[in-house]
Amino acid sequence: MNDNKFAFIICYTDRRLLDECLFYIKSLEVPVNFEIEIITINEAESMAAGYNAAMKSTDAKYKVYLHQDVFIVRKRFLMDCLVIFNSDSQIGAMGLIGCKHIPENASAFDHWDIGACYSSNAVRMIKLVDKFEKGMHDAEAIDGMIIVTVVDIPWREDIFDAWDFYDISQSIEIRRRGYRLVVPHQKEPWCIHDCGASKLIQYDKYRKIFCKEYGYYYDDKLTVSDSRRELFNMCTFFEERAKMLLEKGQKFQVQSELREIGQAVLENNNLVMLMTCYQIDEMEKRQAHTLFWTDNMTFDDLREKWLELKFILRRIEFNMEADLEEKLWGYIQDGKYSAEAVLSGIIHAVTEKNKVMERMLFIADRHII
């Protein structure tokens, strides 16, 4: 075991999100005499299976398991991890969101009560604030968006063969072996979780398995109702239809159908993205130009353009890259992004909206003068 090594372990399905996740990892301050390793797993059979394979492939003592859509903004994150683990040899793992007690019916995802995070709910960025004072808090479970371990305990891929409850199960497996789970106090959140709307389609299936395995009460109360499941299916159908229509250059048909669906788009992250781009398009038309959603753009073209803008604005907010405001101003001058698109990006993609807006206005004033 290499005591001076961190391994970042990421199961991914989306290369664009992974690249942004890696950008933030590579921006972290690395403690003296330490090294980092990055292990990415594409098309894993399950989260637990991917994590087990990666765990066995590295000699790093410190393993950071994280989602592809988690961006660590706390540059001293690795030093913080060392301070936490060095404070007590019985700490086996830490997370940034958790719960003091797993509820009787094991539905932990809506009972996280310790920790902090910047979170995207598909429409806007919100700051989940740490409710407690300084120090560390013991948890019965920690959220799988990011879990840092110093003990190698197998993930239960034998029963959790998909993407739900692997983290709650691992929390119990670690505590069963006598180790503590902790969530540190965060005056400001240490990471962004760009998760959007969660479908939870198989959540109850694996909650039932979890309850049986660990002695919790399965209450038959569906996390996802039948009517909501039908809504998910409808949104998935339209998502695929929209992609097909855009391949054929039928932008206005897609926009017409988005208007008909209305608020239902909130159940599907890709439809929220399309609706946001449609709103930008309408704002631009009122100014007699169309720059963002041009004719014959495919779904992938549009998504890449939106993600690039969103990620640039996030990096500006968290001071991740020098002169990024100038770069974005150049894109505006070149006609790649309109002022309307940038305004929409600030509204939807950042938390400190005034801060980012003031930075962009400062650059604009300097160039106009």
pLDDT per residue over 194-228, tens digit each?
998 888 889 999 999 999 999 999 998 888 888 88
Closest by alpha carbon to 115, among 63, 74, 61? 74
**β strands within the chain, DSSP E:** 2-12, 35-42, 60-66, 70-72, 91-95, 97-99, 114-115, 117-120, 125-128, 136-138, 141-142, 146-149, 180-184, 191-193
Query: What pLDDT is recorded for position 122?
Result: 67
Superfamily of domain 2-214: Spore Coat Polysaccharide Biosynthesis Protein SpsA; Chain A (3.90.550.10)
Question: Distance between CA atoms of 324 and 329, rounded to whole angstroms?
Answer: 9
Burial of 177 (0-12, 13-18, 19+ CB in 10 A): exposed
Q: pLDDT: is 110 or 204 the higher one? A: 204
Per-residue pLDDT at 135: 83
If you average pLDDT over residues 11-24, what whole number do you get?
Answer: 97
The upper half-sphere exposure of residue 182, i.e. CA atoms within 13 Å in the direction of its Cβ, equals 23
Residue 269 in tokens: 């992250």
pLDDT, averaged across the chain: 95
Report how far apart, in Å, the C-alpha atoms of 340 and of each of 122, 204, 292, 302, 337 are. Answer: 19, 42, 9, 16, 8
The sheet carrying 146-149 orders its strands as 35-42, 2-12, 60-66, 146-149, 91-95, 180-184, 136-138
Q: pLDDT tens across 264-296, in order?
A: 888 899 999 999 999 999 999 999 998 999 999
Q: Mean pLDDT throughout 34-41?
A: 98
The Cα 96–Cα 117 span in angstroms is 7
Is the pLDDT higher at 17 or at 196? 17
Query: What local confidence, expressed as pLDDT, does residue 369 receive?
Result: 59
Structure tokens at 187: 């005056």
Residue type, 67: H
- Our CA angle for 289, 294, 297, nearest 5°, is 175
Work out the pLDDT band at 138, boundaries 50, 70, 90: very high
Query: Which residues, other chains included, contact 219 with Cβ-Cβ below 8 Å and sequence gap of 6+?
Result: 104, 105
DSSP codes joined into one string, 136-191: EEE-SEE-TTEEEESS-----TTT--SSSSHHHHHHHHHHHTT-EEEEE--SS-SE
The pLDDT confidence band at residue 297, using thresholds 50, 70 and 90, is very high
> Does the pLDDT value for residue 134 go beyond 90?
no
Domain borders along the chain are 2-214, 226-368
Share of the chain above pLDDT 70, in %: 99
Closest CA to 193 of 107, 127, 114, 266: 127
Q: What is the rounded CA–CA span in Å between residue 61 and residue 123?
A: 38
- Whether 344 has a pLDDT exceeding 90, the answer reads yes
Largest CA distance in the chain: 69
Average pLDDT over residues 248-274: 93
Task: Say what the pLDDT of residue 78 is.
Answer: 98
Question: What CA–CA distance (Å, rounded) separates 281 from 341?
Answer: 8
0.75 surpassed by pTM: yes
